[in-house]
Structure 1
Amino acid sequence: MADASLPDGSTLAALDLGSNSFHLVLARKIKGELSLLKRLGEKVQLAAGLDDQGYLSEEAQQRGLECLERMAPFVRGLDDTQVRAVGTNALRAAHNAQEFIQRAQELLNIPIEVIAGREEARLIYAGVIHTSPKVGGRRLVVDIGGGSTEFIAGEDNEPHLLESLHMGCVSYTQRFFSDGKLTEKNYQQARLAALSELLHIQKPFLGHGWQQAQGSSGTLKTLSLVAGKGEFVPLTPKNLHELEKELLKNKSADNWTAYGMKADRARVIAAGLAITSAFFESLQIQEMHYVEGALREGVLYELAGTGTDLDIRERTIKSLQDRFQADPVQSDLVNQAALYALQQVASAWGLTHPRWQSKLGWAAQLHEIGLSVAHTQYHKHGAYLLHYADLAGFTRQQQCVLAVLVRSHRRKFPASEFKSFSPEYQLKLQRLARILRLAVLLHHSRPDAALTNFQLEVNNSSSKETLTLQFPEGWLEQQPLLLTDLEQEAKWQAAVGFELIYS
């Protein structure tokens, strides 16, 4: 169901910057549902441009940028409630990924988010369930990408197991077939390497079980088509073995283009077949059906649902609070005060967009999760958990934002922690941190109700970014502990060039 806040007729776009191919899907909201308008896809093989040191070559970057230049007209004019672009394994792995992302963002004029492997798996599952017939009982979904392969076991709309393994048709081609030659030896080496990777997930997936297995990638699409000699058929251990025999006999997949395989996939299909054969054996799959939906459709449908009660991020926040036993009452009080403060300064500080309210609210709700590790330095423990955990619905950058806000909610103001963000974004995050710090400080004594008897004013004309906090006349003098906390807070903010005035 499309987001009710988007007017009927709105266009939505999802851009998937994959390790092998870039894909764009466009849809229009019609009577509350999404109608697909256009699909675009180009083989870019970004992962093939990763060198031995993990740097993305200029040649590979240019391939990607040229592709995006052709896709840019389709997203031009859409705002950030209508379009979302995500990067996957190659951009997760590249040490210089930010260099490419910056160039791509300037070209597209939209942000590009690099998502974690399990988040990629979750979105793939969402894409499959929204674009394929309803399946009763449990299902297994597999997607072979250029640099990784995602495995998801779930039931109905809910994924239960999410895994992303470091094996893909491009990365395995580079690793085992880099000279362009196909032999029994290097094919079996690729297959054994995949079997070794699969040992990490074999037991839990077999324990979960499924009634139907579905494959959603270009590799599995091609294998299904070739196995059926030009028509889609379910993949089975028998027809996969026949494909292996034919491939090794011919030492090439070039003749498979007669059955509908695209010529540019011939170079990577041997690696894709080795991976497929391995996971069929490891997970004891007897039959797998190809389905059209994948990551880009998952991104599209989730974009359409963002802002509704089904927002996966809200469920993730609640799950984290439960998992790390954060005090829900205290979190709610801090959240109320933080959002009350934000309302007063949002316009002056450029924080009016709903995204800033979401970031501040999430950080307020999670600011104490580090207490589950230890009381000492718990703000640092909380930041570590948020930085490195797999958080469904959140991109890597969003996790970094939550981590830095939680890290900076108490004690010395860690200005250096914000330096990884762009200067403009850095300042806005520091402003959010100042708001969160005050909200936490006001509830240091853990009261029964939220403290919102204050007014805030800002003065941006000063280099110190003065923030003035005012309470009802005579009230603060009756709060000696709070007064002491504010004195210390003013010193901490002054140490990094900010000014806090209170009365």
Structure 2
Amino acid sequence: MSHGDPTPIRNGELIAAVDMGSNSFHLMVARVEHGEPRIIDRLRDSVRMAAGLRADGSLDAARRGLALDCLARFGQRIAGIPSSHVRAVATNSVRQLAAPHTFLAAAESALGHPVEVVSGREEGRLIFLGASHGLPVSREHRLVIDVGGGSTEFIIGRGLAPLQTESVQAGCIASTLRFFPGGKLTRKRWQRAHTEIGVLLQQFAEDYREVGWLDAYGSSGSAKAISSTVQAMKLSDDGITLATLGALREAMLEQGQIGVLKLPGLAEERAPVIAGAVVIFEAAFEALGIERLRVCDNSMREGLLWDLLGRAGGSDPRTASIDALASRYGVDRAQARRVESTALMLFDQVAAAWKLDAEAREWLSWAARVHEIGLAIAHSQHHRHGGYILRHADMAGFSRQEQQLLAAIVEAHRRKPDKAMFAALPQRYRQLSRQITALLRLAVLFRRARRAESLPSLRLQASGQQLHLQLPADWLEHHPLSEADLVQETPPMTELGLALGVSTA
């Protein structure tokens, strides 16, 4: 296997997905058979992290304890599975934390695997990927709605690919707590909830109606709970309609109190959050003009499993995101290729000494392809502009931590690197980011002329924090600018925690 090949996942091997939702945490373990995940075990715990979020962005101790205890149980189940075969993601509740790193460090320790935080749109992509694998093959547009505990995702797509993805800050737990404080259900409160959620949906409703869809599906536990309830109440035996939602609303308002809510087919654990889910669906039906919504059994956790297999099989959506970003910001592709090939040549010389794997090589490749995207804004400080774009852009396939890693490398590829920027990365990325940055800086230095020209024989050696570069003496004599650049590169390398030495032969 070459340095650039993805780590394969073979038939018979186990993979796992951990979905740290704002309502429930899910673990799904699968065995790969004929290139597909076959589920062999599931665990679920109703943690309800969204209920523990405070206005200042902190998480109450009780919910934090429940979350970590749950992850410890999950961790025991998947202890024998390598981290390359596990994807654990956190969603809206962790996105809302004021200091997510503190919680994530404890979560990763409990689980025994890295935890990624995904954006709302990336969450939507994974939801649609999972849902599509559980639905009949179709060439038509589909709408998938996933009402979570803290947010709701709306995705229109075709096949396995999303075309439109939106995430709104309205989930079953958050909406129930906000609009029905004390558990009191009144018509006035319901109307306020319906109106405010409807306003959120109007931001994209017209665009969604214009794109259109043939069938609509609900992929979350909220959709399943509502569907089970309307069937048990004999309101519908074919999905959810606006009329059945209205009947369900009236039944809840008649009872008047969430604490005593009892409806046919409604699980006891769902009763405390069902009001928020129903009002979100009701507002969505009206804003988007949905006629009927059916339940899909698959959701984000299945999407995580399929995404794992895609990455291992060479169809990583992150590569497509990098190429799309380079196109959008008019990157000089020829220069990017020159820098990339030089950076990878240097990588291959030090990979063994630094114990860098195929994934590290891919990070260097991606960084080289987009290291100049900031030029679309201005040449001055373009490395900082590039870092900002990479932190804040919607990039399919990337978690927030991964975007921060890429942004740090690009932002530090010229001028004095910011130590605090690397220190803010998750521990597992800190050394990697500095090493990749060092290789990218050298590649950019040697390709400063921005033209196709042969480079001298470059010999780069690494030993711990030491880097030694050997060049032909006559080449340096004829390239005084490169010689001066190498001299000036010593202090920035020191900021990266590396000592650069240069000699001639």
Look up the equivalent residue of 2:125 and give its one-letter code: R
- CA distance in structure 1 between the partners assigned to 2:368 and 2:223 by the alignment: 44
Q: Deviations over 1:327-372 (max 9, x none)?
A: 1111111111111111111222232x22211111111111000111
Are residue 220 (structure 1) and residue 215 (structure 2) matched? no
Q: Which runs of 5+ in 1 are unaligned?
A: none
- The 1:232–1:401 alpha-carbon spacing in structure 2 relative to 1, beyond 3 Å, is farther
Look up the equivalent residue of 2:480 and give its one-letter code: P
Please, which moves more after superposition, 185-194 or 271-280? Answer: 185-194
Look up the equivalent residue of 2:150 and give its one-letter code: G
Asked if the contact 2:89–2:116 (Cα under 8 Å) also holds between the matched residues in 1, the reply is yes
Q: 1:201 aligns to what SS in structure 2? A: helix
Q: Which residue of 1 aligns with 2:478?
A: 478
- CA distance in structure 2 between the partners assigned to 1:435 and 1:135 by the alignment: 46
In the TM superposition, what is the alpha-carbon distance from 1:5 to its structure 2 partner? Answer: 2.0
Look up the equivalent residue of 1:389 and give its one-letter code: A
Please, which moves more after superposition, 492-501 or 126-135? Answer: 492-501
Equivalent in 287, 294, 302 of residue 292 of structure 2: 287
- CA distance in structure 2 between the partners assigned to 1:424 and 1:135 by the alignment: 41
Please, which moves more after superposition, 9-18 or 475-484? Answer: 475-484
Are residue 467 (structure 1) and residue 471 (structure 2) matched? no
Are residue 397 (structure 1) and residue 401 (structure 2) matched? yes
- The 1:493–1:275 alpha-carbon spacing in structure 2 relative to 1, beyond 3 Å, is same
Q: Which residue of 1 aligns with 2:441?
A: 437
- The 1:495–1:119 alpha-carbon spacing in structure 2 relative to 1, beyond 3 Å, is closer
Asked if the contact 2:252–2:261 (Cα under 8 Å) also holds between the matched residues in 1, the reply is no
Q: 2:11 aligns to what SS in structure 1? A: coil
Equivalent in 349, 364, 368 of residue 368 of structure 2: 364
Instruction: Say what the alpha-carbon RMSD is for the aligned residues.
Output: 1.9
Q: Note the 1:75-474 alignment, pairs <5 A.
A: 75-229=78-232, 233-252=238-257, 259-351=264-356, 353-422=357-426, 425-449=429-453, 451=455, 453-460=457-464, 465-474=465-474
Look up the equivalent residue of 1:233 and give its one-letter code: D
- The 1:500–1:70 alpha-carbon spacing in structure 2 relative to 1, beyond 3 Å, is closer
Asked if the contact 2:404–2:425 (Cα under 8 Å) also holds between the matched residues in 1, the reply is no
Q: 2:232 aligns to what SS in structure 1? A: coil
In the TM superposition, what is the alpha-carbon distance from 1:134 to its structure 2 partner? Answer: 1.8
Q: Deviations over 1:153-183 (max 9, x none)?
A: 1122221111100000111111112211111
Q: Which residue of 1 aligns with 2:40?
A: 37
- The 1:350–1:232 alpha-carbon spacing in structure 2 relative to 1, beyond 3 Å, is farther
- CA distance in structure 1 between the partners assigned to 2:139 and 2:150 by the alignment: 31
In the TM superposition, what is the alpha-carbon distance from 1:259 to its structure 2 partner? Answer: 3.5
Q: Deviations over 1:460-496 (max 9, x none)?
A: 2xxxx33111123422212122112112112433466
- The 1:457–1:87 alpha-carbon spacing in structure 2 relative to 1, beyond 3 Å, is same
In the TM superposition, what is the alpha-carbon distance from 1:456 to its structure 2 partner? Answer: 0.7
Q: Which runs of 5+ in 2 are unaligned?
A: 1-5
- CA distance in structure 2 between the partners assigned to 1:404 and 1:260 by the alignment: 51
Q: Deviations over 1:127-162 (max 9, x none)?
A: 101112123411111000000000001122221111
Please, which moves more after superposition, 230-239 or 183-192? Answer: 230-239
- CA distance in structure 2 between the partners assigned to 1:435 and 1:216 by the alignment: 44
Asked if the contact 1:141–1:215 (Cα under 8 Å) also holds between the matched residues in 2, the reply is yes
Q: 1:280 aligns to what SS in structure 2? A: helix
Asked if the contact 1:14–1:300 (Cα under 8 Å) also holds between the matched residues in 2, the reply is yes
- CA distance in structure 2 between the partners assigned to 1:332 and 1:420 by the alignment: 30
In the TM superposition, what is the alpha-carbon distance from 1:39 to its structure 2 partner? Answer: 2.2
Asked if the contact 1:213–1:287 (Cα under 8 Å) also holds between the matched residues in 2, the reply is yes
- CA distance in structure 2 between the partners assigned to 1:125 and 1:180 by the alignment: 33
Asked if the contact 2:151–2:169 (Cα under 8 Å) also holds between the matched residues in 1, the reply is yes
- CA distance in structure 2 between the partners assigned to 1:153 and 1:450 by the alignment: 48
Look up the equivalent residue of 1:459 and give its one-letter code: S
Look up the equivalent residue of 1:405 and give its one-letter code: I
Q: Which residue of 2 aligns with 1:16?
A: 19
- The 1:254–1:289 alpha-carbon spacing in structure 2 relative to 1, beyond 3 Å, is farther
Asked if the contact 1:333–1:449 (Cα under 8 Å) also holds between the matched residues in 2, the reply is no
In the TM superposition, what is the alpha-carbon distance from 1:258 to its structure 2 partner? Answer: 6.0
TM-score calculated relative to the size of structure 1: 0.95
- The 1:301–1:422 alpha-carbon spacing in structure 2 relative to 1, beyond 3 Å, is closer
Asked if the contact 1:337–1:452 (Cα under 8 Å) also holds between the matched residues in 2, the reply is no
TM-score calculated relative to the size of structure 2: 0.94
Q: Which residue of 1 aligns with 2:498?
A: 498
Look up the equivalent residue of 2:362 and give its one-letter code: S
- The 1:239–1:449 alpha-carbon spacing in structure 2 relative to 1, beyond 3 Å, is farther
Q: 1:142 aligns to what SS in structure 2? A: strand
- CA distance in structure 2 between the partners assigned to 1:422 and 1:133 by the alignment: 40
Please, which moves more after superposition, 223-232 or 331-340? Answer: 223-232
- CA distance in structure 1 between the partners assigned to 2:373 and 2:295 by the alignment: 42
Asked if the contact 1:149–1:168 (Cα under 8 Å) also holds between the matched residues in 2, the reply is yes
- CA distance in structure 2 between the partners assigned to 1:163 and 1:5 by the alignment: 32
Look up the equivalent residue of 2:320 and give its one-letter code: R
- The 1:242–1:152 alpha-carbon spacing in structure 2 relative to 1, beyond 3 Å, is same
Asked if the contact 1:121–1:163 (Cα under 8 Å) also holds between the matched residues in 2, the reply is yes
- CA distance in structure 2 between the partners assigned to 1:135 and 1:191 by the alignment: 33
Asked if the contact 1:85–1:111 (Cα under 8 Å) also holds between the matched residues in 2, the reply is yes
- CA distance in structure 2 between the partners assigned to 1:494 and 1:76 by the alignment: 38
- The 1:395–1:4 alpha-carbon spacing in structure 2 relative to 1, beyond 3 Å, is closer
Please, which moves more after superposition, 63-72 or 266-275? Answer: 63-72
